Chains A and B, each alone.
Chain A
Amino acid sequence: MKLEYIVGIVIILFAVQFFYGVAANPDSEFGGADGEAEGIIAQINPDYEPWFGGIGFEPPGGETESLLFALQAAFGAIIIGYIFGYYKGKGENN
Protein backbone atom coordinates (compact mmCIF):
# COMPACT_ATOMS: atom_id res chain seq x y z
CA MET A 1 0.00 0.00 0.00
CA LYS A 2 2.99 2.29 0.45
CA LEU A 3 3.10 3.45 -3.19
CA GLU A 4 -0.63 4.25 -3.11
CA TYR A 5 -0.02 6.63 -0.17
CA ILE A 6 2.83 8.36 -2.00
CA VAL A 7 0.69 8.80 -5.14
CA GLY A 8 -2.13 10.13 -2.92
CA ILE A 9 0.26 12.74 -1.52
CA VAL A 10 1.35 13.70 -5.06
CA ILE A 11 -2.31 14.20 -6.02
CA ILE A 12 -2.88 16.42 -2.97
CA LEU A 13 0.23 18.44 -3.84
CA PHE A 14 -1.08 18.78 -7.37
CA ALA A 15 -4.33 20.24 -6.04
CA VAL A 16 -2.29 22.63 -3.85
CA GLN A 17 -0.27 23.92 -6.83
CA PHE A 18 -3.55 24.42 -8.71
CA PHE A 19 -5.08 26.53 -5.93
CA TYR A 20 -1.83 28.44 -5.65
CA GLY A 21 -2.03 29.00 -9.41
CA VAL A 22 -5.60 30.29 -9.06
CA ALA A 23 -4.52 32.72 -6.34
CA ALA A 24 -1.43 33.84 -8.24
CA ASN A 25 -3.28 34.31 -11.56
CA PRO A 26 -6.73 35.60 -10.52
CA ASP A 27 -7.72 36.59 -14.07
CA SER A 28 -6.62 33.38 -15.72
CA GLU A 29 -9.15 30.99 -17.23
CA PHE A 30 -6.52 28.24 -17.41
CA GLY A 31 -6.72 28.03 -21.16
CA GLY A 32 -4.59 25.60 -23.12
CA ALA A 33 -0.84 26.15 -23.38
CA ASP A 34 -1.23 25.64 -27.14
CA GLY A 35 -3.42 28.74 -27.29
CA GLU A 36 -0.67 30.72 -25.56
CA ALA A 37 1.85 29.41 -28.06
CA GLU A 38 -0.45 30.73 -30.78
CA GLY A 39 -0.18 34.14 -29.11
CA ILE A 40 3.63 33.96 -29.25
CA ILE A 41 3.47 33.05 -32.94
CA ALA A 42 1.26 36.10 -33.52
CA GLN A 43 3.93 38.25 -31.81
CA ILE A 44 6.83 36.82 -33.78
CA ASN A 45 5.05 36.80 -37.12
CA PRO A 46 1.83 38.88 -37.04
CA ASP A 47 1.04 38.00 -40.66
CA TYR A 48 1.07 34.26 -40.20
CA GLU A 49 -2.17 32.56 -41.19
CA PRO A 50 -2.65 28.80 -40.74
CA TRP A 51 -2.32 27.51 -44.28
CA PHE A 52 -4.45 24.43 -43.81
CA GLY A 53 -7.48 23.48 -41.77
CA GLY A 54 -11.01 22.29 -41.61
CA ILE A 55 -10.61 18.68 -42.75
CA GLY A 56 -11.66 16.93 -39.53
CA PHE A 57 -14.82 17.43 -37.51
CA GLU A 58 -14.69 20.55 -35.38
CA PRO A 59 -16.82 20.43 -32.20
CA PRO A 60 -19.36 23.27 -32.35
CA GLY A 61 -18.59 24.32 -28.78
CA GLY A 62 -17.08 23.50 -25.42
CA GLU A 63 -19.91 21.14 -24.48
CA THR A 64 -19.46 18.78 -27.43
CA GLU A 65 -15.73 18.98 -27.06
CA SER A 66 -15.87 17.91 -23.42
CA LEU A 67 -18.19 15.05 -24.42
CA LEU A 68 -15.65 13.74 -26.91
CA PHE A 69 -12.78 14.10 -24.43
CA ALA A 70 -14.85 12.28 -21.80
CA LEU A 71 -15.60 9.47 -24.25
CA GLN A 72 -11.91 9.17 -25.00
CA ALA A 73 -11.09 8.82 -21.30
CA ALA A 74 -14.00 6.45 -20.62
CA PHE A 75 -13.06 4.18 -23.51
CA GLY A 76 -9.49 3.91 -22.22
CA ALA A 77 -10.56 3.39 -18.62
CA ILE A 78 -12.96 0.56 -19.58
CA ILE A 79 -10.17 -1.33 -21.34
CA ILE A 80 -7.75 -0.91 -18.42
CA GLY A 81 -10.38 -1.94 -15.85
CA TYR A 82 -11.58 -4.92 -17.90
CA ILE A 83 -8.12 -6.38 -18.47
CA PHE A 84 -6.87 -5.82 -14.93
CA GLY A 85 -10.09 -7.30 -13.56
CA TYR A 86 -9.83 -10.29 -15.87
CA TYR A 87 -6.31 -11.17 -14.74
CA LYS A 88 -7.04 -10.52 -11.10
CA GLY A 89 -10.05 -12.85 -11.22
CA LYS A 90 -8.08 -15.47 -13.10
CA GLY A 91 -5.26 -15.27 -10.55
CA GLU A 92 -7.68 -15.79 -7.66
CA ASN A 93 -9.21 -18.87 -9.27
CA ASN A 94 -5.86 -20.61 -9.55
Chain B
Amino acid sequence: MHIFEGFLPSPWWQIWFVVSIPVILYGMYQLNKLVSQRREIIPLLAVAGAFIFVLSSLKLPSVTGSSSHPTGTGMAAILFGPAITSVLSVIVLLYQSLFLAHGGLTTLGANVASMGIIGPFVAYLFYRTASKAGMNFYLNVFLATAIANWATYVVTSLQLALAFPAAQGGALASFVAFGAVFATTQVPLAIMEGALTALIMKYVVQIKSDVLIDLRVLTSAAATKLKETMQ
Protein backbone atom coordinates (compact mmCIF):
# COMPACT_ATOMS: atom_id res chain seq x y z
CA MET B 1 0.00 0.00 0.00
CA HIS B 2 1.76 3.07 -1.26
CA ILE B 3 1.25 6.70 -0.31
CA PHE B 4 -1.54 8.24 -2.42
CA GLU B 5 -0.99 10.90 -5.04
CA GLY B 6 -0.80 14.40 -3.56
CA PHE B 7 -0.68 13.14 0.02
CA LEU B 8 2.81 14.35 0.82
CA PRO B 9 3.01 18.12 1.20
CA SER B 10 6.13 20.21 0.53
CA PRO B 11 8.91 19.82 1.48
CA TRP B 12 8.49 16.10 2.10
CA TRP B 13 7.82 14.88 -1.42
CA GLN B 14 10.90 16.74 -2.67
CA ILE B 15 13.05 15.41 0.19
CA TRP B 16 12.19 11.79 -0.69
CA PHE B 17 13.02 12.40 -4.35
CA VAL B 18 16.40 13.78 -3.28
CA VAL B 19 16.95 10.59 -1.25
CA SER B 20 15.81 8.23 -4.03
CA ILE B 21 17.20 9.67 -7.24
CA PRO B 22 20.93 9.12 -6.49
CA VAL B 23 20.25 5.49 -5.54
CA ILE B 24 18.18 4.93 -8.71
CA LEU B 25 20.94 6.46 -10.86
CA TYR B 26 23.57 4.32 -9.15
CA GLY B 27 21.30 1.30 -9.66
CA MET B 28 21.03 2.04 -13.40
CA TYR B 29 24.80 2.30 -13.61
CA GLN B 30 25.24 -1.02 -11.75
CA LEU B 31 22.56 -2.63 -13.91
CA ASN B 32 24.24 -1.54 -17.16
CA LYS B 33 27.59 -2.81 -15.95
CA LEU B 34 26.19 -6.14 -14.79
CA VAL B 35 24.20 -6.76 -17.98
CA SER B 36 27.11 -5.92 -20.29
CA GLN B 37 29.54 -8.07 -18.31
CA ARG B 38 27.31 -11.05 -17.63
CA ARG B 39 24.59 -11.53 -20.19
CA GLU B 40 23.61 -14.85 -18.57
CA ILE B 41 22.02 -13.02 -15.65
CA ILE B 42 19.33 -11.33 -17.80
CA PRO B 43 16.72 -14.11 -17.40
CA LEU B 44 17.21 -14.10 -13.62
CA LEU B 45 16.85 -10.32 -13.60
CA ALA B 46 13.58 -10.71 -15.51
CA VAL B 47 12.35 -13.28 -12.97
CA ALA B 48 13.20 -10.98 -10.05
CA GLY B 49 11.35 -8.09 -11.73
CA ALA B 50 8.38 -10.30 -12.60
CA PHE B 51 8.24 -11.54 -8.99
CA ILE B 52 7.83 -7.92 -7.82
CA PHE B 53 5.07 -7.50 -10.43
CA VAL B 54 3.16 -10.55 -9.23
CA LEU B 55 3.51 -10.03 -5.48
CA SER B 56 2.77 -6.32 -5.47
CA SER B 57 -0.48 -6.94 -7.38
CA LEU B 58 -1.84 -9.32 -4.74
CA LYS B 59 -3.90 -7.44 -2.19
CA LEU B 60 -4.14 -9.80 0.73
CA PRO B 61 -6.55 -9.57 3.66
CA SER B 62 -5.04 -9.39 7.11
CA VAL B 63 -6.29 -10.31 10.57
CA THR B 64 -6.67 -6.58 11.40
CA GLY B 65 -9.63 -6.29 9.01
CA SER B 66 -7.82 -4.38 6.29
CA SER B 67 -5.84 -5.38 3.23
CA SER B 68 -2.36 -4.65 2.00
CA HIS B 69 0.04 -6.18 -0.46
CA PRO B 70 3.49 -7.77 -0.29
CA THR B 71 6.38 -5.98 -1.99
CA GLY B 72 8.21 -8.85 -3.70
CA THR B 73 11.47 -6.92 -3.52
CA GLY B 74 13.31 -9.29 -1.17
CA MET B 75 14.31 -11.68 -3.94
CA ALA B 76 15.81 -8.96 -6.16
CA ALA B 77 17.58 -7.45 -3.14
CA ILE B 78 19.22 -10.76 -2.17
CA LEU B 79 20.27 -11.47 -5.77
CA PHE B 80 21.29 -8.05 -7.07
CA GLY B 81 21.46 -5.69 -4.07
CA PRO B 82 19.29 -2.70 -3.15
CA ALA B 83 20.40 -0.27 -5.89
CA ILE B 84 19.32 -2.49 -8.79
CA THR B 85 16.15 -3.39 -6.86
CA SER B 86 15.26 0.31 -6.70
CA VAL B 87 15.31 0.47 -10.53
CA LEU B 88 12.97 -2.55 -10.75
CA SER B 89 10.65 -0.97 -8.16
CA VAL B 90 10.44 2.27 -10.15
CA ILE B 91 9.01 0.30 -13.11
CA VAL B 92 6.29 -1.33 -10.96
CA LEU B 93 5.46 1.86 -9.06
CA LEU B 94 5.18 3.86 -12.30
CA TYR B 95 2.81 1.26 -13.78
CA GLN B 96 0.64 1.30 -10.66
CA SER B 97 0.54 5.09 -10.38
CA LEU B 98 -0.12 5.73 -14.09
CA PHE B 99 -2.72 3.01 -14.77
CA LEU B 100 -4.17 2.00 -11.42
CA ALA B 101 -4.34 5.27 -9.48
CA HIS B 102 -2.37 3.39 -6.81
CA GLY B 103 0.49 5.38 -5.33
CA GLY B 104 1.34 8.50 -7.30
CA LEU B 105 3.87 10.51 -9.26
CA THR B 106 4.50 13.14 -6.59
CA THR B 107 4.81 10.41 -3.94
CA LEU B 108 6.99 8.23 -6.21
CA GLY B 109 10.17 9.38 -4.48
CA ALA B 110 8.83 8.41 -1.05
CA ASN B 111 7.40 5.10 -2.27
CA VAL B 112 10.65 4.14 -4.02
CA ALA B 113 12.57 5.03 -0.85
CA SER B 114 10.44 2.68 1.30
CA MET B 115 9.71 -0.22 -1.08
CA GLY B 116 12.67 0.00 -3.46
CA ILE B 117 15.56 1.15 -1.30
CA ILE B 118 15.24 0.88 2.50
CA GLY B 119 13.28 -2.40 2.62
CA PRO B 120 15.62 -4.08 0.09
CA PHE B 121 18.66 -2.68 1.88
CA VAL B 122 17.46 -4.35 5.11
CA ALA B 123 16.96 -7.64 3.24
CA TYR B 124 20.40 -7.43 1.63
CA LEU B 125 22.18 -6.59 4.87
CA PHE B 126 20.37 -9.31 6.83
CA TYR B 127 20.97 -11.96 4.16
CA ARG B 128 24.69 -11.24 3.74
CA THR B 129 25.33 -11.07 7.50
CA ALA B 130 23.38 -14.21 8.34
CA SER B 131 24.90 -16.01 5.37
CA LYS B 132 28.41 -15.33 6.71
CA ALA B 133 27.28 -16.55 10.13
CA GLY B 134 26.24 -19.83 8.51
CA MET B 135 22.46 -19.64 8.80
CA ASN B 136 20.40 -22.16 6.82
CA PHE B 137 19.82 -20.72 3.32
CA TYR B 138 16.03 -21.00 3.25
CA LEU B 139 15.56 -19.72 6.78
CA ASN B 140 17.83 -16.81 5.90
CA VAL B 141 15.84 -15.93 2.74
CA PHE B 142 12.59 -16.23 4.70
CA LEU B 143 13.72 -13.95 7.53
CA ALA B 144 15.48 -11.41 5.29
CA THR B 145 12.40 -11.01 3.08
CA ALA B 146 9.85 -10.97 5.88
CA ILE B 147 11.81 -8.34 7.83
CA ALA B 148 12.29 -6.26 4.65
CA ASN B 149 8.57 -6.33 3.89
CA TRP B 150 7.80 -5.19 7.40
CA ALA B 151 10.54 -2.53 7.33
CA THR B 152 9.04 -1.12 4.10
CA TYR B 153 5.80 -0.32 5.88
CA VAL B 154 7.49 0.98 9.01
CA VAL B 155 9.24 3.44 6.71
CA THR B 156 5.91 4.34 5.04
CA SER B 157 4.48 5.06 8.51
CA LEU B 158 7.50 7.20 9.32
CA GLN B 159 7.19 9.14 6.05
CA LEU B 160 3.55 9.94 6.77
CA ALA B 161 4.28 10.77 10.42
CA LEU B 162 6.99 13.27 9.48
CA ALA B 163 4.66 14.97 7.00
CA PHE B 164 1.67 14.92 9.36
CA PRO B 165 2.83 15.47 12.96
CA ALA B 166 -0.05 15.32 15.43
CA ALA B 167 -1.09 18.50 17.22
CA GLN B 168 -0.44 16.71 20.49
CA GLY B 169 2.63 14.51 20.70
CA GLY B 170 4.05 15.54 17.32
CA ALA B 171 5.52 13.19 14.75
CA LEU B 172 6.05 10.44 17.32
CA ALA B 173 2.34 10.21 18.12
CA SER B 174 1.54 10.17 14.40
CA PHE B 175 4.13 7.46 13.86
CA VAL B 176 2.41 5.27 16.46
CA ALA B 177 -0.98 5.88 14.77
CA PHE B 178 0.21 5.13 11.23
CA GLY B 179 2.34 2.24 12.46
CA ALA B 180 -0.71 0.70 14.14
CA VAL B 181 -2.40 0.55 10.72
CA PHE B 182 0.48 -0.41 8.45
CA ALA B 183 2.89 -2.38 10.60
CA THR B 184 0.29 -4.63 12.26
CA THR B 185 -1.64 -5.29 9.03
CA GLN B 186 1.63 -6.28 7.43
CA VAL B 187 2.75 -8.99 9.88
CA PRO B 188 0.84 -11.95 8.31
CA LEU B 189 1.71 -10.66 4.84
CA ALA B 190 5.39 -10.42 5.69
CA ILE B 191 5.41 -14.07 6.81
CA MET B 192 3.63 -15.09 3.60
CA GLU B 193 6.05 -13.17 1.44
CA GLY B 194 9.05 -14.67 3.23
CA ALA B 195 7.75 -18.20 2.67
CA LEU B 196 7.01 -17.64 -1.04
CA THR B 197 10.41 -16.04 -1.63
CA ALA B 198 12.19 -18.95 0.08
CA LEU B 199 10.31 -21.35 -2.21
CA ILE B 200 11.12 -19.51 -5.45
CA MET B 201 14.77 -19.23 -4.39
CA LYS B 202 14.84 -23.00 -4.00
CA TYR B 203 13.90 -23.33 -7.68
CA VAL B 204 16.53 -20.77 -8.65
CA VAL B 205 19.15 -22.86 -6.85
CA GLN B 206 17.85 -25.92 -8.68
CA ILE B 207 18.12 -24.49 -12.20
CA LYS B 208 20.71 -21.70 -12.03
CA SER B 209 23.03 -22.24 -9.09
CA ASP B 210 26.05 -21.21 -11.22
CA VAL B 211 24.66 -17.68 -11.56
CA LEU B 212 24.08 -17.50 -7.80
CA ILE B 213 27.74 -18.34 -7.27
CA ASP B 214 28.72 -15.67 -9.86
CA LEU B 215 26.64 -13.07 -8.05
CA ARG B 216 28.22 -14.23 -4.76
CA VAL B 217 24.82 -15.02 -3.27
CA LEU B 218 26.10 -18.51 -2.47
CA THR B 219 29.59 -19.98 -2.19
CA SER B 220 30.12 -22.94 -4.47
CA ALA B 221 30.43 -25.24 -1.42
CA ALA B 222 27.07 -24.02 -0.09
CA ALA B 223 25.42 -24.45 -3.52
CA THR B 224 26.69 -28.02 -3.85
CA LYS B 225 25.41 -28.84 -0.38
CA LEU B 226 21.97 -27.38 -1.12
CA LYS B 227 21.69 -29.33 -4.36
CA GLU B 228 22.64 -32.57 -2.61
CA THR B 229 19.88 -32.19 -0.05
CA MET B 230 17.35 -31.75 -2.88
CA GLN B 231 17.99 -35.18 -4.37
Q: Taking beta carbons and an 8 Å cutoff, which residues of A are in contact with B?
A: 3-4, 6-7, 10-11, 14, 17-18, 20-21, 24-25, 28, 30-38, 40-41, 44-45, 48, 50-53, 55-59, 65, 68-70, 72-73, 75-80, 83-84, 86-88, 91
| Complex CA distance for A25 and B65, rounded to whole angstroms | 6
**Known contacts A56-B98, A73-B57, A87-B207; A33 and B1 CB within 8 A of each other:** yes
Task: Say whether B192 contacts A80, CB under 8 Å.
Answer: no
Task: Say whether A87 contacts B62, CB under 8 Å.
Answer: no
In the assembled complex, which residues on chain B have CB atoms less than 8 Å from the CB atom of A31? 66-67
B185: shortest Cβ distance to chain A, in Å?
5
Q: State whether the Cβ of B131 lies closer than 8 Å to any Cβ in chain A.
A: no
In the assembled complex, which residues on chain A have CB atoms less than 8 Å from the CB atom of B203? 84
Tell which of A32, A55, A57, A75 touches B50, judged by Cβ atoms closer than 8 Å.
A75
A-B CB contact pairs (8 Å), 8 listed: A14-B188, A21-B62, A34-B4, A41-B164, A55-B105, A73-B54, A73-B58, A80-B47
Task: Say whether B207 contacts A3, CB under 8 Å.
Answer: no
- Among B133-191, those with CB < 8 Å from A are 138, 160, 164-167, 174, 177-178, 181-182, 185-186, 188, 191
| Majority DSSP secondary structure for residues of B touching A | helix
| Complex CA distance for A78 and B47, rounded to whole angstroms | 10
In the assembled complex, which residues on chain B have CB atoms less than 8 Å from the CB atom of A50? 4-7
Q: Taking beta carbons and an 8 Å cutoff, which residues of B are in contact with A?
A: 1-7, 9, 43-44, 46-47, 49-54, 56-68, 95-101, 104-106, 138, 160, 164-167, 174, 177-178, 181-182, 185-186, 188, 191-192, 195-196, 198-200, 202-203, 207-208
| Complex CA distance for A70 and B100, rounded to whole angstroms | 11
In the assembled complex, which residues on chain B have CB atoms less than 8 Å from the CB atom of A36? 66, 181
In the assembled complex, which residues on chain B have CB atoms less than 8 Å from the CB atom of A78? 50
Residue of B nearest to A73 (CB): B57
| Complex CA distance for A53 and B208, rounded to whole angstroms | 44
| Complex CA distance for A7 and B72, rounded to whole angstroms | 16
In the assembled complex, which residues on chain A have CB atoms less than 8 Å from the CB atom of B43? 83, 86-87
**Known contacts A56-B101, A69-B100; A79 and B50 CB within 8 A of each other:** yes
Can you add 20 more A-B contacts, CB < 8 Å, to A34-B4, A87-B43? A4-B199, A7-B199, A17-B62, A18-B62, A25-B65, A32-B1, A33-B1, A33-B67, A33-B181, A36-B66, A37-B182, A40-B164, A45-B164, A53-B5, A59-B99, A72-B96, A76-B50, A78-B50, A79-B53, A87-B208
